[in-house]
Amino acid sequence: MTTWVFSEEIDGHASASALELLTKARTFGDVAVFHIGPGSDGAFAELGAHGATNVYHLAIGDRLPSAPAAGALATLAEEHDAELIMFGMGNTDRDVAGRLSARIGKPVLGNAVEVAVDGRVKVTSEILGGTEAVVTEATGAAPALVLVRSKAFPAEPLTDSVPNVTLVSMPDIGHAGSAVITESHVEDSEGPDLEVAGIVVAGGRGVGSAEKWAVVEDLASQLEAAVGATRAVIDAGWVPSRLQIGQTGKTVKPDVYISAGVSGAMQHLVGMKDSGTIIAINKDAEAPIFAVADLGIVGDLHAVVPKLTEALKAR
Amino acid sequence: MRIAVCVKQIPDPATPYDLDPDTHRVVRPNDQVLDDTDRFGVEVGLQLAEGDDGSVTLFSMSPSGSLQGIRQALAMGADKAVIIDDETLAGSDALTTSRVLAAAIEREGFDLVVAGTESTDGSSGVVPQQIAELLEVPSLTFARKVDVADGVARVEQQTAGGYDVAEAPLPALLSVTSGVVEPRYPTFKGIMQAKKKPIDTLTAADLGFSPEQVGDAGAGQKITSVTSVPAREAGEIVEDDGEAYLKIVALLEQAKVI
């Protein structure tokens, strides 16, 4: 069987999710990659090293990827009898998977933390804040589309082999493909990488505003920790979405996770509940985050956190 | 401009969810609430309609029950609602839901479809994209800022490291994040008016679907098992007395990170 993995080039690299998915997919048999973006040699080499034998590259230019990528991938999946197509859960991944699903009439099995192929494609996902594990099976004809959570599988390079790269032509999909990207803005980042940091300091809506967000950053910088955030904070535009922890963001398992003003919505808990030590500060004693905390402080984070930061500074 | 806004009634997120042991589905009480993330889509729809003398129609596939969530969105100012309520739809997967919503939206006619990015009680987060593909229109997703002028929709889209500006000619679909606008609260007048606003109820058959195409029968996936994940041991919860930060310092020492 052939498993397909979706990859999006970001700053000259294959997406982190693609390398994680390839590591898993190569255990099922042959792996092909559908890659969108400029198509740098570095990105192709990373894909090859993680087990891709064939890479199909769609140079997307300034087109919004979702519709043309779904159109091109639909054709490739049919031509090559794809049995399983794996995506991460990033925005572009979900855009392409959703449109592809409707285009070829196949369901999307979302939120996977484990994928098995045993005659049928089966995925395990965690629901209700990670308290229940659900196994869902694709029942129709192949291919099955699967969205996999970040860090469900470790990315492990295998060889130095360079994949065969085939250029895919831009499909003509009419009006649906008429969206374009006119500007791109990158917001600078500092500090350690969220997914590998030993300590994570996460802020939630309870922080109050973008102006007050410094309280989170000051503590993180004192602890040399990575900064994380809930979806509410990303949606409010206080920090960029790469800092999002949770179902549709990053999965973190640091030694110590400290949250301030995070209530602990189910979607957030699944992204951090496997951390070593969990410390939560929230004014609402009923907040669900306290159910997973080793230490919960019921109080005003704007009183507790600055004192903590000062105490650490004084050491 | 005819604006279609997709909304979902969900069990109150403040209450624990129950799973039906036989079907593995979330048990849906009669009184469901409007998914909080949908208020942003409704607000975007209302603002765009106000600037353009347009109309806002809500679309929802759900057992109608008390319809209090739909009434709430009507009270914010939407003009009417189209509910697809049919026993045969129970157990529908995301793709079937999208097919049903797309068929209802197409039947009504539209220039712009607005949806949230994902529902609070779901997991796939692909319904807006599926609807766009079925309607054969561009999808501008994860928008944190929205503008429509001269027949072109323009958005700021969240990206991993910042944001892009993307645009597409109408008809189009937008999915909006919960930060895009400040949703209005229904006024007393709005609540009273909402009681008189039309709510059309359609069945799957009205939209041309046979029972085999929808619900459990039409789903391309099935849940084969549900097992409990061992819970974390409960920790210590303390009220801040002004010195609680010292407990954190002590725990950080114990964890050997300071």
| Alpha-carbon distances, residue A16 vs B160, B162, B173 (angstroms) | 12, 17, 28
Tell me the mean pLDDT in the region B68-87: 94
Residue of B nearest to A284 (CA): B239
Closest CA to B200 of B81, B108, B114, B93: B81
pLDDT at A24 > cutoff 70: yes
Instruction: Assign 3-state DSSP to chain B and report helix, strand, coil percentages, each to 5.
Output: 30, 30, 40
User: Do residue B258 and residue A126 have CB atoms under 8 angstroms apart?
Assistant: no
pLDDT at B2 > cutoff 90: yes
Question: Alpha-carbon distance B23 to B29, whole Å?
Answer: 15
Tell me the mean pLDDT in the region B25-47: 88
Q: Specify the CATH class of A199-313 in words.
A: alpha beta
User: Do residue A304 and residue B163 have CB atoms under 8 angstroms apart?
Assistant: no
Q: Tell me, what's the pLDDT at A196? A: 80
Q: Tell me, what's the pLDDT at A138? A: 93
Tell me the mean pLDDT in the region B203-210: 96
Q: Report A:193-252 residues touching B (Cβ under 8 A).
A: 198-199, 223, 231-232, 234-237, 240-242, 247-248
User: Do residue A131 and residue B95 have CB atoms under 8 angstroms apart?
Assistant: no
Q: Tell me, what's the pLDDT at B123? A: 62
Distance from CA of A59 to the nearest CA of B (A): 18
pLDDT in tens, B135-175: 999 999 999 899 999 999 999 998 877 889 999 999 999 99
Give exposure, A123-161, as e/b (b: 16+ Cβ within 10 Å): bbbbbbbbbbbbbbbbeeebbbbbbbbbbbbebeeeeee
pLDDT at A208 > cutoff 70: yes
Residue A154 is classified by DSSP as: -
pLDDT in tens, A30-83: 999 999 999 999 999 999 999 999 999 999 999 999 999 999 999 999 999 999
Q: Write the CB contacts of A103 (distance below 8 Å, at least 6 apart in sequence).
A: A70, A71, A74, B133
Q: How many residues in total does chain A contain?
A: 315
Which residue has better confidence, A132 or B45?
B45
Q: Tell me, what's the pLDDT at B114? A: 97
Answer yes or no: are the C-beta atoms of B112 and B1 closer than 8 Å.
yes
pLDDT at B100 > cutoff 90: yes
Interface test with A, best of B99, B159, B213 (most A CBs within 10 A): B159
Tell me the mean pLDDT in the region B25-38: 84
A64 touches chain B (CB under 8 A): yes
pLDDT at A12 > cutoff 80: yes
Interface test with A, best of B15, B19, B252, B253 (most A CBs within 10 A): B252
Residue B136: left (phi > 0), alpha (psi -120 to 50), or beta? left
Interface test with B, best of A8, A13, A96, A99 (most B CBs within 10 A): A99
Which residue has better confidence, A146 or A239?
A146
- Is A2-177 assigned to CATH 3.30.70.141? no
Tokens (6 digits) for A42 = 């570095």
Q: Categorize the per-residue pLDDT at B19 as very low, low, confident or very high, splitting at 50, 70 and 90.
A: confident
Tokens 């006024």 correspond to B187
Q: Tell me, what's the pLDDT at B64? A: 66
pLDDT in tens, A139-179: 989 999 999 988 899 999 998 888 999 999 999 999 999 99
Q: Tell me, what's the pLDDT at B175? A: 95
Question: Alpha-carbon distance B90 to B86, whole Å?
Answer: 8
Distance from CA of A62 to the nearest CA of B (A): 9
* Lateral strand order in the sheet of A295-298: A226-229, A199-203, A256-260, A277-282, A295-298, B236-239
- Chain B positions touching A136 (Cβ under 8 A) are 221-224
Q: Tell me, what's the pLDDT at B48? A: 96
- Chain B positions touching A231 (Cβ under 8 A) are 178
Residue of B nearest to A230 (CA): B178
Closest to A295 (Cβ–Cβ): which among B159, B172, B236? B236
Q: Write the CB contacts of B21 (distance below 8 Å, at least 6 apart in sequence).
A: none
Question: Where do the CATH 3.40.50.620 domains begin and end in chain A?
Answer: 2-177
Question: Alpha-carbon distance B85 to B207, whole Å?
Answer: 11
pLDDT in tens, A258-299: 999 999 998 899 899 989 999 999 999 999 999 999 999 999
Q: Categorize the per-residue pLDDT at A235 as very low, low, confident or very high, splitting at 50, 70 and 90.
A: confident
CA quadruple B105, B214, A69, B7: dihedral sign:
positive
Q: Tell me, what's the pLDDT at A146? A: 97
A42 touches chain B (CB under 8 A): no
Tell me the mean pLDDT in the region B45-54: 93
pLDDT at B121 > cutoff 80: no
Q: Categorize the per-residue pLDDT at B10 as very low, low, confident or very high, splitting at 50, 70 and 90.
A: confident
Q: Categorize the per-residue pLDDT at B36 as very low, low, confident or very high, splitting at 50, 70 and 90.
A: confident
Closest to B133 (Cβ–Cβ): which among A70, A135, A294? A70
Q: Report A:262-291 residues touching B (Cβ under 8 A).
A: 265-267, 273, 276-279, 285, 290-291
Distance from CA of B239 to the nearest CA of A (A): 5
Residue of A nearest to B121 (CA): A128
Q: For the domain made up of B2-218, give the CATH fold.
A: Rossmann fold (3.40.50)
pLDDT in tens, B166-185: 999 999 999 998 878 889 99
Distance from CA of A180 to the nearest CA of B (A): 6
Q: Write the CB contacts of B197 (distance below 8 Å, at least 6 apart in sequence).
A: B74, B78, B79, B80, B81
Closest CA to A305 of A245, A258, A251: A258
Question: Where do the CATH 3.40.50.1220 domains begin and end in chain A?
Answer: 199-313
Tell me the mean pLDDT in the region A20-38: 96
- Chain A positions touching B234 (Cβ under 8 A) are 291
User: Do residue A273 and residue B232 have CB atoms under 8 angstroms apart?
Assistant: yes
For chain A, the average pLDDT equals 93
Q: Tell me, what's the pLDDT at B32? A: 85
Closest to A242 (Cβ–Cβ): which among B19, B130, B160? B160
Tokens (6 digits) for B4 = 């279609």
Question: Alpha-carbon distance A147 to A144, whole Å?
Answer: 10
Taking one residue from A and the other from B, the number of pairs with CB-CB distance under 8 angstroms is 284
Residue A13 is classified by DSSP as: B
Q: Tell me, what's the pLDDT at B119? A: 80
Distance from CA of B201 to the nearest CA of A (A): 25
User: Do residue B19 and residue A132 have CB atoms under 8 angstroms apart?
Assistant: yes
Which residue has better confidence, A297 or A118?
A297
Closest CA to A186 of A6, A3, A10: A10
Q: Categorize the per-residue pLDDT at B117 as very low, low, confident or very high, splitting at 50, 70 and 90.
A: confident
Q: Categorize the per-residue pLDDT at A236 as very low, low, confident or very high, splitting at 50, 70 and 90.
A: confident
- Chain A positions touching B231 (Cβ under 8 A) are 131, 291
Q: Tell me, what's the pLDDT at A119? A: 85
Q: Tell me, what's the pLDDT at A82? A: 94
Q: Report A:172-191 residues touching B (Cβ under 8 A).
A: 174-187, 189
For chain B, the average pLDDT equals 91
pLDDT at B51 > cutoff 80: yes
Question: Alpha-carbon distance A191 to A220, whole Å?
Answer: 9
User: Do residue B220 and residue A139 have CB atoms under 8 angstroms apart?
Assistant: yes
Tell me the mean pLDDT in the region B220-247: 91
Residue of B nearest to A187 (CA): B162
- Chain A positions touching B225 (Cβ under 8 A) are 134-135
Q: Tell me, what's the pLDDT at B118? A: 83
- Chain A positions touching B160 (Cβ under 8 A) are 10, 90-91, 240-242
